[in-house]
Structure 1
Amino acid sequence: MAISSSTSRTQDLVPLLCLLLMAAAAPQHSCASPPLPVTLPGCPDKCGNISIPYPFGTKEGCFKPDFEVLCNDSFHPPRAFIQMAGAKITVDDTYYKTNEDGMPDNDIGSSEWPIELVDVSVSEGKARVLGAFSYDCKMNDTYHAVRRQEIDLGYWMPFSMSDADDVLMGIGSNVVAKQTSGPQCQSYLLYQLSTRKTDDPVNGSCSGQGCCSANLRSGGMAATEVTIQKNTKDDGGFYGDGVSCSYAMIVDKSWYNFSSPDVDSDAFLRRNAAGVPVVVNFSFGVDGCPNASEPTPDDFACVSNYSTCIERPPVLDNVSIPYFCSCSAGYEGNPYIHGGCQDIDECARPHMYPCYGGKCKNTPGDYECSCPAGTKGNAKQAPCTDLFPLPAKISVVLGLCSWSS
């Protein structure tokens, strides 16, 4: 039987239709995005391995007031230090002897250190610095070396402690850690006379046995001293041979996971001689975010399009309301730079912005994910489902095959 020309043309279109459907279902690949701006044009954006995003900067004209950073290249790799007036770590070294009545402090000396910058998150308005920790180290049967350290971030602007990220922590078998005008915590280990041993602390736990912690006073602080209470008891049964120490600090709570070998040893001191990480907030202004109906202040920090202003609570009893900047939802980059917030290409990041088998299309501040032809559903949330049940599709395929044969 002769096949009509129209039937022949229809048969020729079937493979083409299949190719088009396959192309529509294939994942869409976006071109690589240009690197996001970090700092102002012509300004260094790194110090050694540390990224230095604006408003921080290492050269004149590259930073906002109070955000100057010294890049010290005498270290290898170079290290970054905050240069704001008044920002420092103060160290007081003393000693005492347990066989002296009252155990008086004997001064050794004091010194001041600059605050080292570890990293910066402009999207959160936070930075990590190396902060101070205090310790009481038993050097022999009677002699204790004590170091008290204070971190001072200057006046409350632009830096303050992050009470959401930092905690007061004490480590030792018989230690009380105290924060100036703030909380305290006590760590202890019970000494069993029958075995002449202390209870074993539990790794990872900081509930009072070998390690204690307490939340900081809310509202942030610009300066804080952490002290450690002298060990007034006969500690011969608590310690083994060699140097043993107790510690008190304010520290990023996500950084330290309690390890029992740190109890009453100098291991923690040797590992962290440069300091421990502390999260600080950085902020701007004193009157909060401007209202939409008001003129934008000349010194307003959120200069990029698609940036947003976020107010912080007043710092302690100060009535001024600081703020920080972030890119709006669907955008990323540096809100403190003109043009710094750029659209996120969600289609290039399927692990973060899923599109389950659908066709992904990037849009300003968002993305679309549509199900392929013949399917339905919300492809952002779950794989698309077929419009037609499997038996119906089998019948159609069999019909096409028999018709084209």
Structure 2
Amino acid sequence: MDLHGMLMQISLIGVIISTIVATTAAEAALAKLGCDYMCGDVKIPFPFGLTDGCYLNKNFHITCEDNVTAKTGDFAIKRISIEDHELRVLNFVARRCYNKTGELVEGIKASVNLSRYTISNTKNKFTVVGCDAYLTGTQKGENYSIGCMSLCNSLLNVVNGSCSGVGCCEVEVPDGLKSIEMKVRSYNDHIDVWDFNPCDYAFLAEQGQFDFSTAYLKNLTDEELPMVLEWAIGNETCKTAAQNKTAFACERNSYCQDLETKSGYLCKCKQGYQGIPYLPDGCQDINECEDPNLNNCTIAKNCVNTPGSYSCRCPKWYHGSGRKDGEGCEANLLLVFKIAIGKYIY
């Protein structure tokens, strides 16, 4: 290998090492120093944690079963989002199955009882699958029927991918919902539709994650489907929480945000910063100069990063803002003229 080849190889190794170091540093910034942040393939960012001293308080304790499955209560966790303040978990599917004479042969209820989280009303839907079904539930100790009925006499009008009421129906989730017990009910015990639809199914699941198929009327094999939960810090407003400096969760370079319809507050990194606002120094400065999509400098190399922002410079013998959305850079014509005259006289 010639010298040029060796230099190229050394340069490539340097890039790989730098990438590994940067990735490791970014991953480490997810949790407190010395704390594990992985359970299986799920990242556990602070304020959540797996062991004592690694989470903000007991409300954010996550268990890791067999070092594979991250769980909060009975729910298996698929993803935790700090930016959106959401958890994506797996939720159980309720079902009732009958034999051809209308006798119940299987009945499974599905309940959601939350103290730490709220069921997202913008990301989830109540869904019923079946040709002789309606969804009922218990909320806050009262029985009620949700306005979602799924009826059909045959497969003639049932359409794959459609959940408009023929074989499948959906209904909105009320805002602020923390607990519900779902039961799926039948009008005629499936006697008239048993040959193609022996069971009814009901579930609360993430919108867009369930794609209805006519085959599900015969058998919906999914026992769990994804659901989105929302989380927040405590039950106080920002103003009240900030009075207790030792317990206040928002760290440096972050700000506090009240919730509009729910109790508690959120922490967000200030503009120009990114990371975990609940960790000391968790909000790190974004270097806008490294990405041309993050700055408006007319000349990339004349971008200067500053804490939480950046500035643009003009090259020598030019003046202006140096920005695409400003006056850009213009030549100092008087200076150029003087230099030209000087050279001419010389």
Q: In 2, are the aligned partners of 1:314 and 1:322 still within 8 Å (CA)? A: no
Alpha carbons of 1:170 and 1:371: their partners in 2 closer, same or farther (altered >3 Å)? farther
Partner deviation per Cα, 1:273-306 (whole Å, 9 max, x = no partner): 2x221111122233310279x744321111x211
Alpha carbons of 1:206 and 1:61: their partners in 2 closer, same or farther (altered >3 Å)? same
In the aligned structure 2, how far is the partner of 1:141 from the partner of 1:309?
Answer: 60
* Structure 2 letter corresponding to 1:250: L
Which structure dedicates a bigger proportion of its chain to helix? 2
Alpha carbons of 1:348 and 1:258: their partners in 2 closer, same or farther (altered >3 Å)? farther
Question: Deviating runs (4+, > 4 A) in structure 1?
Answer: 31-34, 354-358, 367-378, 384-388
Q: In 2, are the aligned partners of 1:371 and 1:379 still within 8 Å (CA)? A: no
Q: Give the counterpart of 1:286 among 231, 235, 239.
A: 235
In the aligned structure 2, how far is the partner of 1:374 from the partner of 1:260?
Answer: 68
* Structure 1 letter corresponding to 2:207: K
Q: In 1, are the aligned partners of 2:131 and 2:193 still within 8 Å (CA)? A: no
Partner of 1:149: 110
> Gapped runs of 5+ residues in structure 1?
1-30, 88-113, 192-196, 316-320, 389-405
* Structure 2 letter corresponding to 1:184: I
Residues 1:343 and 2:285 are matched in the alignment: yes
In the aligned structure 1, how far is the partner of 2:296 from the partner of 2:171?
Answer: 43
Give the greater-gyration-radius structure (CA): 1
Partner deviation per Cα, 1:309-337 (whole Å, 9 max, x = no partner): 1222454xxxxx31122222222111111
In the aligned structure 1, how far is the partner of 2:132 from the partner of 2:330?
Answer: 69
Question: Displacement of 1:339 after TM fit?
Answer: 0.7
In the aligned structure 1, how far is the partner of 2:160 from the partner of 2:200?
Answer: 16
Question: Displacement of 1:139 after TM fit?
Answer: 4.8
Partner deviation per Cα, 1:115-158 (whole Å, 9 max, x = no partner): 222211112221112122211223554343111111212x3xx3
Partner of 1:298: 246
In the aligned structure 2, how far is the partner of 1:261 from the partner of 1:349?
Answer: 48
Q: Give the counterpart of 1:334 among 252, 265, 276.
A: 276
* Structure 1 letter corresponding to 2:173: L
Partner of 1:255: 209
Residues 1:178 and 2:178 are matched in the alignment: no
Partner of 1:309: 256
Alpha carbons of 1:183 and 1:355: their partners in 2 closer, same or farther (altered >3 Å)? farther
Alpha carbons of 1:164 and 1:249: their partners in 2 closer, same or farther (altered >3 Å)? same
Partner of 2:26: 35
Partner of 2:127: 169
Pairing 1:110-259 to 2, within 5 Å after superposition: 114-144=74-104, 145-153=106-114, 155=115, 158-181=116-139, 184-191=146-153, 197-218=154-175, 220-232=176-188, 235-237=191-193, 239-240=195-196, 244-259=198-213
Question: Displacement of 1:246 after TM fit?
Answer: 1.9
> Gapped runs of 5+ residues in structure 2?
1-17, 332-346
Q: In 1, are the aligned partners of 2:133 and 2:149 still within 8 Å (CA)? A: yes
Question: Displacement of 1:234 after TM fit?
Answer: 5.0
Secondary structure class of the residue paired with 2:80: strand
Q: In 1, are the aligned partners of 2:232 and 2:266 still within 8 Å (CA)? A: yes
TM-score (norm 2): 0.74
Pairing 1:49-68 to 2, within 5 Å after superposition: 49-63=41-55, 64-68=57-61
Secondary structure class of the residue paired with 1:131: strand
Partner deviation per Cα, 1:90-118 (whole Å, 9 max, x = no partner): xxxxxxxxxxxxxxxxxxxxxxxx22222
Q: In 2, are the aligned partners of 1:174 and 1:186 still within 8 Å (CA)? A: no
Residues 1:276 and 2:267 are matched in the alignment: no
Secondary structure class of the residue paired with 2:238: coil
Identity of aligned residues (%): 26
Q: Give the counterpart of 2:69 among 79, 84, 94.
A: 79
In the aligned structure 1, how far is the partner of 2:47 from the partner of 2:328?
Answer: 49
Q: In 1, are the aligned partners of 2:299 and 2:322 still within 8 Å (CA)? A: no
Alpha carbons of 1:142 and 1:55: their partners in 2 closer, same or farther (altered >3 Å)? same
* Structure 2 letter corresponding to 1:116: A
In the aligned structure 1, how far is the partner of 2:63 from the partner of 2:148?
Answer: 38
Alpha carbons of 1:309 and 1:200: their partners in 2 closer, same or farther (altered >3 Å)? same
Alpha carbons of 1:53 and 1:236: their partners in 2 closer, same or farther (altered >3 Å)? same
User: CA RMSD, aligned part only?
Assistant: 3.4
Relative contact order: is structure 1 or structure 2 higher (C-alpha 8 Å, sep ≥ 6)? 1
In the aligned structure 1, how far is the partner of 2:243 from the partner of 2:182?
Answer: 44
* Structure 2 letter corresponding to 1:228: V
In the aligned structure 1, how far is the partner of 2:54 from the partner of 2:321?
Answer: 52
In the aligned structure 1, how far is the partner of 2:183 from the partner of 2:329?
Answer: 66
